[in-house]
Amino acid sequence: MAYEPVRFQNIPEQVSEYINKGDQEESKRVVANIAVKLKKETKEKTRFPIDAFPSRIQNIIQVFYECYKLPPDYHCAAILAAASVAIGNAFSAYFKKKQSYPPILYLSVVGYPSSGKSPGIDFGLFPLEEIEKELREEHRDRIERWKEECYKASLDKKELPEKPVSQDLIIDDATRESINRIMSNNPKGVILVQDELKAWIKSMDMYRSKGSDLEYWLKIWSGKSVKVNRTSDDVIWLPYPFASVIGGIQPGVLKDMATGGKADNGFLARILFAYPDEMIKPFQTDEEPHEKVLDLYRKMIKFLYRLPNNFETEKRRGVTFAKVIKTHVPLSEEGKKIYIKFIHDYTQQYNESESEEVKGILGKLEQYCLRFALIIEMLEFACSKAPEFTDDLNPMGEFKEVEFLELEDLEISKSSVEKAIRITSYFKRTALKVIDQLDSPVAQLGTYIETWYNEMPEQFHTNVALDVGKKINKQFPEAKLSESTIKRLLNNQKGRLFERVGRGLHRKVYI
């Protein structure tokens, strides 16, 4: 059964009845355009291209959707994030010299409070939580062995061995000191996960004694080296820092992403928005994902994380070096042709655009496309090594073993590039949607309130606003534009949207 996205109910071609109160002619003209506009918007809904994932991942997304009815965008973003950090610094997408990109992603899952952002993220990241649990257990074992070695060394009056350091994978502390320390212990990479990205975004506006967090996260996204001076005798050198980010954000908080120059210096352009057009809270069901489906996804992400790689940390003259030996995965010849054509298309759009924000988005998405292509290729590789399943979902064996030499022969296929371009197009549309909302506070009010606002004449009576709200409610019960809601809007309790110009007479602030 193919995934069927949630859709608005059918919209009639014409408004069939007039409103019987207030200014009749004005009301008729206003409501007559509503159905047409909403129908057009419905056709232009932004859908995440789920079929860009390998078929086995598509099936997992479908199961998640059928059980929880959350926007698939949330699950897709979380799966991209999980695969991103599972691949980590071990691989990079290679286009040409000086253009090799690690799969670092900054993902923002957009939704109203309690709309399912956090559960959607959690289901995609649960394999990483299990990997981290295994890392803790391994660290515990190393500590026990270290204690034994220390005891023997003390008896033999020898130098004590260095204490093992723990490896973290998932972090929630966004301070640079904490992240640098964790990345130095785990050069493969980490992921910052926050239920709400608001605190992370606001930290960008703060200037600290060692520079701003904004500059730091710009460097991390680009994979540029980081040097950390703990003390004069304790320096950490991270030639390839790796930290992906994922978290939720409410539509009304999006404006914080553009404050403090974040729209001008490229930070906003680096954010990928998983922003579904429909964010209706789903009704709960008693359906749960089959444990064998969860197990397949768990093993795929763990397979990627456990692929042979070479990371070392060594200390020389008080400086800790995190050595990373990457496998650069090149584009196939056909894949390179498709990618170059894609770049030319985005370059043309870049040159034609008069918006600095749009230019920034297009420029960063060119890099993101390669990162997506690498992730899709590695997921395809994991699927190719997964066992076949019987009709009752029992695996016929285990994941196949992989030799290091096999990884050196990897290349990003034409198919993976084409799928990456489709994912990139989705994130371009959601980024432009955010830009539109930042330009006008009205766009942050939600689809139905925004339509209600936009269809009002520049100046109108209260009864016209109420009549239009009733008409929208009749066609779309989920809109819930109650009389009290509309009066709060007219009284500017949700921001300054109107001016009162007479008794019961209002004028829009934004035309």
Give the model's pLDDT for residue 259. Answer: 66
Lowest mean pLDDT among 147-151, 193-197, 345-349, 403-407: 403-407
pLDDT band of residue 40 (cuts 50, 70, 90) is very low
Between 473 and 30, name the one with better pLDDT. Answer: 473
Between 369 and 178, name the one with better pLDDT. Answer: 369
Domain ranges of the chain: 24-41+443-508, 52-331
Between 508 and 395, name the one with better pLDDT. Answer: 508
496 DSSP 8-state letter: S
CA distance 132 to 466: 54
pLDDT band of residue 400 (cuts 50, 70, 90) is confident
Give the model's pLDDT for residue 14. Answer: 27
- Mean pLDDT of the region 5-26: 33
Between 280 and 287, name the one with better pLDDT. Answer: 287
Residue 424 region, left (φ>0) first, then alpha (ψ -120 to 50), else beta? alpha
Residue type at position 13: E
Closest by CA to 245, choosing from 113, 108, 71, 361, is 108
Give the model's pLDDT for residue 214. Answer: 84
43 burial type by CB count under 10 A (0-12 exposed, 13-18 middle, 19+ buried): exposed
pLDDT band of residue 342 (cuts 50, 70, 90) is very high
Between 126 and 115, name the one with better pLDDT. Answer: 126
Q: With 70 as the cut, is the pLDDT of residue 20 above it?
A: no
Give the model's pLDDT for residue 199. Answer: 84
Give the model's pLDDT for residue 23. Answer: 43
Task: Report strand pairing: 505-508 vs 459-461.
Answer: antiparallel
- pLDDT above 90 coverage of the chain, percent: 39
Give the model's pLDDT for residue 30. Answer: 42
Q: With 90 as the cut, is the pLDDT of residue 24 above it?
A: no
CA distance 89 to 95: 16
Number of H helices, E strands in the chain: 16, 17
Closest by CA to 318, choosing from 231, 225, 227, 210, is 231
Q: With 70 as the cut, is the pLDDT of residue 35 above it?
A: no
Q: Are 127 and 82 in contact (CB under 8 A)?
A: yes
The residues with which 249 forms a beta bridge, in sequence order, are 110
Give the model's pLDDT for residue 465. Answer: 92
Between 474 and 18, name the one with better pLDDT. Answer: 474
CA distance 268 to 259: 10
Task: Report strand pairing: 243-249 vs 190-196.
Answer: parallel
Q: Are 345 and 380 in contact (CB under 8 A)?
A: no
**CA 362 and chain centroid, separation:** 17
pLDDT tens-digit profile of 182-226? 888 888 899 999 988 988 887 776 655 455 788 889 999 998 888
List, as one string, the DSSP characters of 362-420.
HHHHHHHHHHHHHHHHHHHHHHHHSPPB-TTS-BSS-PPP--HHHHHT--B-HHHHHHH
- Mean pLDDT of the region 352-365: 90
pLDDT band of residue 461 (cuts 50, 70, 90) is very high
Q: What is the mean pLDDT of the chain?
A: 82
Most confident of 34-43, 90-99, 221-230, 330-339: 330-339
- Mean pLDDT of the region 240-251: 92
Element containing residue 435 per DSSP (H, E)? helix 414-439
* Coil, helix or strand at residue 241: coil
pLDDT band of residue 45 (cuts 50, 70, 90) is low
Most confident of 333-342, 348-357, 398-407: 333-342
pLDDT band of residue 411 (cuts 50, 70, 90) is very high
Give the model's pLDDT for residue 412. Answer: 97
Q: With 60 as the cut, is the pLDDT of residue 374 above it?
A: yes
Q: With 60 as the cut, is the pLDDT of residue 76 above it?
A: yes
CA distance 242 to 221: 8
Tokens in use for 194? 């926050």
Give the model's pLDDT for residue 36. Answer: 40
Give the model's pLDDT for residue 113. Answer: 85
Give the model's pLDDT for residue 204. Answer: 75
Give the model's pLDDT for residue 143. Answer: 93
pLDDT band of residue 17 (cuts 50, 70, 90) is very low
pLDDT band of residue 264 (cuts 50, 70, 90) is low
